[in-house]
Structure 1
């Protein structure tokens, strides 16, 4: 298989299950600290011992009893609340209606294999993947009741994210949550390759701690993640090439001033610049597709020259810094609606790579799952 090939990860079968686990938590002043990420770097086999040393110094705490956690965090004025637990990845869906977790982007097999190797060496799921769904009214009332109580942990981390965490151990509450999640279908918002790594670990060692992987499930109906675009720069092509491609497909490509071009961004229109001139490309986007699909599957293949490379940018300024009249075009993208992404995933289609940016993400180190401690998790 070509190492650059993108493939669809397997589908996990329902019912969707988030199980209690004994959470590891870094000390608040370590959470959100850029140096914390280096603690999970090579040599990976030394990470578990490093955390044990930190634990002896009071820099890591471990819950003595497994719990399902309600984690609320606030960043840039946006508050997100989600359930954090050990996601059951032990069963594969054989029919579309059996799927419980929906990827919307493909994965590079080599990258997923590498992540699985890292987690195995560390003996950890270092951070939860992010899942989103539209929860039931009953589930919303349960989590609201939990959040009305006194949090077990409350702090502001080094990156200024504010956190509140409730450990849920009451058997009735856990049973009620499980019942409300049983029929849920969750969309992967962040962590496609880590999700695929979970599945690889489970396939290597079925029936053990790798039957589960750490996940945070966010209800988009109550505290929605913000879905932003990821912009592109196309090296080895020009604005004239883009005009030619658009016209060959029957799409209009109109010259605009920068402000007008940016304001014209919509689900059916993108803005492009070479750093000197600007155009708006009006795409013929079918109702069940996103603009990013039309760009990659129609417009880019129609370019008379290039692109030699496509780069991805989370900010407009970063994308514009790569524009050059001689060699590169920056393409500003609209963000697809969450509901459209969900429909695309449910229809067994994948969006092009780096099509979505769900924000904000929680800081690293708030909740970690040890694979070595997983024997304490309820089955």
Structure 2
């Protein structure tokens, strides 16, 4: 596919829950698939409502090979029963999330894959293949990934349309368990769509959250023989946020190493990192981590014992971290973790069964304790550092950042097998 100079966000006929067929929108929504803590989180969502979206994004069966077909069959049945119904005409959707002082607004649409979209993390091939198998079987994009762009505080174009649209009556309003209120509006007017297109056609985007889904979109398009730029597979469902107007929050993603006992993890690091022990909950250790200059991590394997690691051996870093990358990349905590600790010190295989990624530190510690393994708690990387590296074509280790707030899954879906998709 030939690249375009800017972003092209296409309207689509959103597939949404019929309010009279579900107990509530809150009960059928879910966090993104990679944020749900499995299996406890899946069971919690499944029992919230028989039609919870988790049955589509994280299907499970006695036969693992049948998971994706089951999701496709479930989607087909819900559409036939009128649980999920298509909007009457293609639209872009203004999406708002609000909780306390946090306010985020953006546009949900089908973004062409040939636009200037910058990744900043590597992906896990097994995860891409799993997501591709799911989307291929269902012919649907179930959840938008999160992209950021810089509107340069433009007083017109996409921002002007968004600010005017939110003064009207929304298509839906709901509040999810995390306290965020979500509202959605449809943009269908030709003048508004033209203004958005003219604005975004001058922009480029950074993948904030959803590298695996973006890679999945690209793989699925490549697997469609003869598909041109107008094919539904030539675009993917995204939420675009102008971070000049609505700055994203950036949080860390933590690691759980189920096969590495905490005692061994600490013993292996004895000569190459300084270690300080904190008792009690994780708060004190995480506060100390944030205040520590240079490379640092928190290790935990029991709910009440935490170890702050810092001051790594300079010679070890020099020997193990590749030199053909910018200094900002070489200093990243995630770079040191993956290049030095995981690869050289602990010899942890780069495989989902050996490394889990969790967004919440308490959940990471609890999972590590259950498995007899080690949790590595991380700090966040600034959006500016992420963007600078991405603009130089440098990717960070996978799951280095967690941008948010993330869009709720289940408010609007995109199907690929009907007109207007």
Report the TM-score, using the length of structure 2 for normalisation: 0.73
How far apart, in 1, do the equivalents of 2:107 and 2:217 lie? 18
Query: What secondary structure sits across from 2:276 in the alignment?
Result: strand
The question of whether the paired residues in 2 share the 8 Å contact of 1:23 and 1:62 is answered with: yes
Q: 1:337 to 1:158 in 2, by over 3 A?
A: closer
Output the CA distance in 2 between the equivalents of 1:322 and 1:108.
21
Native 8 Å contact 1:230 1:333 kept in 2: yes
- Deviations 1:317-351, CA, capped at 9 Å, x for gaps: 23334667xx7543321100011111122222221
Corresponding position of 1:22: 13
Matched, 1:126 2:142: yes
Contact 1:21 / 1:67 at 8 angstroms: preserved in 2? yes
1:162 Cα deviation (Å)?
Answer: 2.2
Instruction: Say whether 1:174 aligns with 2:198.
Output: no
Inter-partner Cα distance in structure 1 for 2:174 and 2:341: 48
**C-alpha displacement at 1:295, in angstroms?**
2.0
Match of 1:255 among 276, 295, 299: 276
Q: Structure 1 unaligned segments of length 5 or more: list them.
A: 1-9, 92-98, 247-252
Per-residue deviation at 1:51? 2.7
Q: What is the CA distance between 1:371 and its match in structure 2? A: 0.8
1:265-285: per-residue Cα shift (whole Å, max 9, x none)? Answer: 247342434555633313679
Q: Are the aligned partners of 1:129 and 1:190 in contact in 2 as well (CA < 8 Å)?
A: yes
The separation in 1 between residues aligned to 2:215 and 2:348, in whole angstroms, is 29
Deviating runs (4+, > 6 A) in structure 1?
none
User: Equivalent residue for 2:294?
Assistant: 268
Query: Cα deviation per residue 1:341-373 (whole Å; 9 max; x = unaligned)?
Result: 111222222211221122332222111111122
Q: Distance in 1 between matches of 2:2 and 2:297?
A: 35
Measure, in 1, the Cα distance between the counterparts of 2:138 and 2:299: 45
Specify the alignment match of 1:250 in structure 2. none
Q: Distance in 1 between matches of 2:295 and 2:195?
A: 45
CA contact (8 A) 2:153 2:244 kept: no
Q: Which residue number corresponds to residue 96 of structure 1?
A: none
SS of corresponding position for 2:270: helix
Aligned to 1:154: 173
Question: Does the 8 Å CA contact 2:132/2:220 hold for their aligned counterparts?
Answer: yes
Q: Secondary structure at the match of 1:376?
A: coil
Change (3 A) 1:39 1:277: closer
Structure 2 gap ranges (5+): 31-44, 47-51, 60-66, 318-326
TM-score normalised by length of structure 1: 0.80
Alpha-carbon separation, structure 1, partners of 2:250 and 2:199: 25
Pairing 1:182-197 to 2, within 5 Å after superposition: 182-197=201-216
Count of residue correspondences:
347
Does the residue aligned with 2:269 lie in a helix, a strand or coil? Answer: helix
2:385 counterpart SS class: helix
Q: Please point out which of 313, 319, 333 is paired with 1:291.
A: 333
Q: Secondary structure at the match of 1:239?
A: helix
> Given that residues 229 and 357 in structure 1 are in contact (C-alpha distance below 8 angstroms), is that contact kept between their aligned partners in structure 2?
yes
- Contact in 2 for aligned 1:296/1:352 (Cα 8 Å): yes
- 1:165 equivalent in alignment to 2:192: no
Select the residue among 247, 254, 275 that pairs with 1:224. Answer: 247
- 1:243-272 CA-to-partner distances (Å, cap 9, x unmatched) read 3233xxxxxx25354576433324734243
1:358 counterpart residue number: 403
CA gap of 1:76–1:280, structure 2 versus 1, over 3 A, is farther
CA offset at residue 39 of structure 1? 4.4
User: What is the CA–CA distance in structure 2 between the aligned matches of 1:307 and 1:118, rounded to whole Å?
Assistant: 29
Which shows bigger deviation, 337-346 or 134-143? 134-143
The whole-number CA distance in structure 1 between the counterparts of 2:106 and 2:249 is 14
Pair 1:311–1:219, CA change in 2 (3 A): same
In the alignment, what sits opposite 1:46?
A: 73
Q: Counterpart of 2:108?
A: 84
**1:30-61: CA deviations, max 9, x gaps?**
43262311145342331442232332xxx323
Residue aligned with 1:131, SS:
strand
Q: Deviations over 1:144-199 (max 9, x none)?
A: 12222332333445776422212112222211211221122211122222211211
CA distance in 2, matches of 1:329, 1:357: 21
